[in-house]
Amino acid sequence: MAIERVTVVGAGDMGHGIAELFAVNGFHVTLVDKFPQALEKAQARIASSLDRLVEKGKLTKEQSSEAKSKIAYAGDLGGAVSAADLVVEAVPESVELKKGVIREASASAPAGAIFASNTSNIRISDLAEAANRPHRVVGMHFFNPPMLMKLVEVIPGAKTDPAVAQEVFDLCGKLGRTAVKVQKDSPGFIVNRINAADTLFFCLLLDRGVASPSEVDRFARGQGLPMGPYELLDFVGVDVGADSLAYFASALSPEYGKGTTFAKMVKEGRLGKKTGRGFYDWSSGKAEIPKADPTDKVSIMDIFALEINESVKLLEEGVATPDDIERGVVLGMNRPFGPISVAKDLSNAEVKAKLEELSAKYECGVFAPARSIAEGRLRDAIEGRLHPMSGEAGPSTEARAPAPEATRGAIRLERLEGGVAKVVIARPRLNLINGEVLDGLNGVLTDLWNDREIRAIVVTGEGTVFSAGFEMTKFVSDAAGMMEFARKGERTMRRLSEIPKLTIAVLKGYALGGGLELALACDLRLATEDVELKFPELARGLVPAWSGTQRLSRLVGLSRASSMILACESVTGKRAYEMGLVNRVIQAVEPDEQAVKYARELASSEAPVAVMLAKKLLNKGSEVPTDVGLEMEEMAAGVLFGTEDLKEGISAFLGKRKPEFKGK
């Protein structure tokens, strides 16, 4: 059914804006409210808003007049919905009030009408209980002000017909809005669930006397925010924050009820702008914020950690995808980036430590690390590798299955304990390298590049063979095409050599041609005694074209490199160690396990930033004059002198303990 006629119930801040948005986009709208003065005020506000759009050149006078003509105003709900295709309730955030609207509307509206709630927190499944057609009830959460904010959360209830949810999702596009579909009905959905932890935090700050509202707001403005949290609460309404915490305390966790300051302000009538006074005096029409120094009792990491934690809970519960969480926060909270982006630049240990600190300091379980963070699997969560917990929405203690391995074509990525990742060429028996393998390897390198949890990467082949070389499965028509394909392989090897992590190749069985070039691009090579290493290209009319001619001679010298390339000489792992081609000989039994153990040792004992800079010096030093290389060394030493890891390394050495590097 095409939606043409819309009834919006509730003419307040949200309702009149939603009605205007539908009218501007060509829909016939009836705005209904039982209070005549509310309708009069809404009509004036809509007219004023449309006039401003004309002044700004966003609408023509004709379009403004047409939008005004499409809005009717009514006081009787039954009559207002009698011909509606869509009913949007936008009454205050009360379960019983919203249920009453849905009950009456569903009794009077046509059989095919859709009932959408603009609730910002309440489960749609709970509201749908009041409808005689619960399968046609859906959440359609606009953000304030609806004419400006681009996000709409679409929330199916437990009984919502998927076709209804999809119709509302598609409708958002016709309104010029970006919709995110909430996968599982849960209190607060995406954005307000994340924001609720922030609201509780700012309430507890005042409860504990940690800092004054003006000190916190000055800090927030110093971080580039247009409003501090308390100024924003005043603007929206302190009662909105208090009601939100009360609802979450009843529907999600009683821990949300630990904050008391906001509820006290509501009892005192200090609701913010709407009453003239909240945290600040609004008698002049704007907040009069006392002069204050920015507090140093709050850090931006406090907020980041809380929002990441709530995002992970949503992912664990299956409420939303990482992309929709990111998109929702960016558009719904008017941010340049969201918690998923922030989490990618932080380690699990950093986030976990901050959450444990906040949870202990404020004695609040909401701030305790989510299960995935507690188990060290933040990266699995934000990259979408969790199995959602079963059961009803809300906190769960149910154990989940391990995250599945990430596979990119013929490349498998395994994230192991101890800061180690294992990259496996999975093309048994010989693990030949083709274009698919190169694409997969490039994708995995991108995944790992900024992953601060991973400090060492083990590169190996499935089974008993590292890689028997290149397999040309892609048709190459001419010399130019072959040059481009060679360049693709060389660039992949270069990326592997430059990734800011330790890379360790496990040479076993065979490492021939392109497979050996892959190993040469790694920082370290471990080899079994009997592995066969060889460049057979010249015997096939080719040359090593993935940097083998350049890297090999730098490792073992021109004479030995000439023997291996020009004479196609084969060497064993033992001989390669004597030549300096490999760094360590390992046993033939379980070579991958030996490499992983070695990688863990290095990951736990070497400072990540120092590793990154040392790799740059080793890789680039041979490409520049000696005096330039020495200058590079000096600059690297200067950079490292200011790191926390240097202080930790010296402290650990003097204290005769193992260092705990953080990569800072």
DSSP secondary structure letter of residue 477 = -
Q: Mean per-residue pLDDT for 160-184?
A: 95
Torsion of CA 614, 615, 619, 621, to 10 degrees: -10
* CATH number assigned to the domain comprising residue 350: 1.10.1040.10
Tally helices (H) and strands (E) across the chain. 28, 18
Span 215-263, pLDDT tens digits: 999 999 888 777 899 999 998 899 999 999 999 999 999 999 999 999 9
Same domain, 282 and 133: no
Q: Mean per-residue pLDDT for 63-71?
A: 95
| pLDDT above 90: residue 409 | no
Rounded Cα gap, residues 405 and 343, in angstroms: 20
Same domain, 373 and 354: yes
Residue type, 335: R
Residue type, 185: D
Task: Answer whether the bond into residue 369 is a cis peptide, omega within 30°.
Answer: no
What was the pLDDT predicted at 385?
81
What was the pLDDT predicted at 472?
63
Span 469-480, pLDDT tens digits: 888 655 555 788
What was the pLDDT predicted at 615?
81
The total of other beta-carbon atoms located within 10 Å of residue 37's CB is 9
Rounded Cα gap, residues 245 and 195, in angstroms: 10
- Cβ contacts of 137 within 8 Å, gap of 6 or more: 102, 106, 114, 115, 116, 117, 124, 127, 128, 131, 157, 159, 160
What was the pLDDT predicted at 473?
56
List residues bridging with 282 in a β-sheet.
Answer: none
* Cα separations in angstroms, 142 against 120, 172, 198, 230, 587: 8, 10, 20, 22, 63
Same domain, 495 and 353: no
Task: Report CA Rg, the chain.
Answer: 31
| pLDDT above 50: residue 627 | yes
Q: Yes or no: say if 506 and 460 are a contact pair by the CB < 8 Å rule.
A: yes
What was the pLDDT predicted at 407?
66
Q: Is 398 among the domain residues?
A: no
| pLDDT above 80: residue 184 | yes
42, two tokens: 């809404």
Same domain, 114 and 210: no
* Cα separations in angstroms, 42 against 84, 110, 225, 300: 20, 26, 30, 38
Same domain, 72 and 122: yes
* CATH number assigned to the domain comprising residue 624: 1.10.12.10
User: Which of these ranges, 57-66, 67-76, 241-250, 653-662, has the smallest mean pLDDT?
Assistant: 653-662
What was the pLDDT predicted at 351?
93
Phi, psi (rounded to 5 degrees) for 461: -115, 155
Domain assignment of residue 313, given as a range:
301-382
pTM: 0.73
Same domain, 232 and 207: yes
What was the pLDDT predicted at 13?
87
Percentage with pLDDT > 90 across the chain: 68
* CATH number assigned to the domain comprising residue 66: 3.40.50.720
Span 526-581, pLDDT tens digits: 999 999 999 998 888 888 888 888 889 889 999 999 999 999 999 999 999 999 99
Task: Answer whether the bond into residue 385 is a cis peptide, omega within 30°.
Answer: no
Q: Is 491 among the domain residues?
A: yes
The helix-helix angle for 626-641 and 644-654 (nearest 10°) equals 80
Same domain, 548 and 462: yes
What was the pLDDT predicted at 479?
83
Rounded Cα gap, residues 252 and 194, in angstroms: 13
Q: Yes or no: say if 611 and 501 are a contact pair by the CB < 8 Å rule.
A: yes
Torsion of CA 427, 433, 438, 444, to 10 degrees: 40
What was the pLDDT predicted at 392?
36
Q: Which residue, of 236, 267, 297, is where some domain finishes?
A: 297
157, two tokens: 């209830």
Q: Mean per-residue pLDDT for 85-110?
A: 94
Q: Is 602 among the domain residues?
A: no
| pLDDT above 60: residue 402 | no
Rounded Cα gap, residues 555 and 392, in angstroms: 59
DSSP secondary structure letter of residue 470 = B
| pLDDT above 70: residue 94 | yes
Q: Yes or no: say if 202 and 222 are a contact pair by the CB < 8 Å rule.
A: no
Same domain, 268 and 312: no
Q: Is 121 among the domain residues?
A: yes
Q: Is 400 among the domain residues?
A: no
Q: Which residue, of 597, 623, 643, is where some domain finishes?
A: 597
Residue type, 647: K
Instruction: Give me the number of domains the chain comprises.
Output: 5
Catalytic site positions: 517, 537
Same domain, 275 and 308: no
Rounded Cα gap, residues 506 and 465, in angstroms: 9
Span 186-207, pLDDT tens digits: 999 999 999 999 999 999 999 9
* CATH number assigned to the domain comprising residue 550: 3.90.226.10
Q: Is 348 among the domain residues?
A: yes
Rounded Cα gap, residues 652 and 607, in angstroms: 12
List residues bridging with 139 in a β-sheet.
Answer: 117, 155
| Dihedral sign (CA 540, 497, 378, 181) | negative
What was the pLDDT predicted at 475?
54
Rounded Cα gap, residues 561 and 405, in angstroms: 38
Rounded Cα gap, residues 660 and 648, in angstroms: 7
Rounded Cα gap, residues 77 and 319, in angstroms: 33
What was the pLDDT predicted at 661?
83
Same domain, 26 and 123: yes
What was the pLDDT predicted at 477?
59
Q: Is 389 among the domain residues?
A: no
Same domain, 176 and 195: no
368, two tokens: 């305790």
| Dihedral sign (CA 656, 662, 663, 664) | negative
Q: Is 603 among the domain residues?
A: no
Q: What kind and span of H or E run contains 40?
A: helix 36-55
What was the pLDDT predicted at 481?
73
Closest CA relative to residue 469, chosen from 503, 504, 509: 509
Task: Give the 3-state secondary structure of residue 18.
Answer: helix
522, two tokens: 């790694």
Q: Which residue, of 571, 597, 623, is where some domain finishes?
A: 597
Between residues 475 and 619, the one the model is more confident about: 619
Same domain, 351 and 253: no
Q: Mean per-residue pLDDT for 589-614?
A: 89
Between residues 44 and 477, the one the model is more confident about: 44
Q: Mean per-residue pLDDT for 73-80?
A: 93
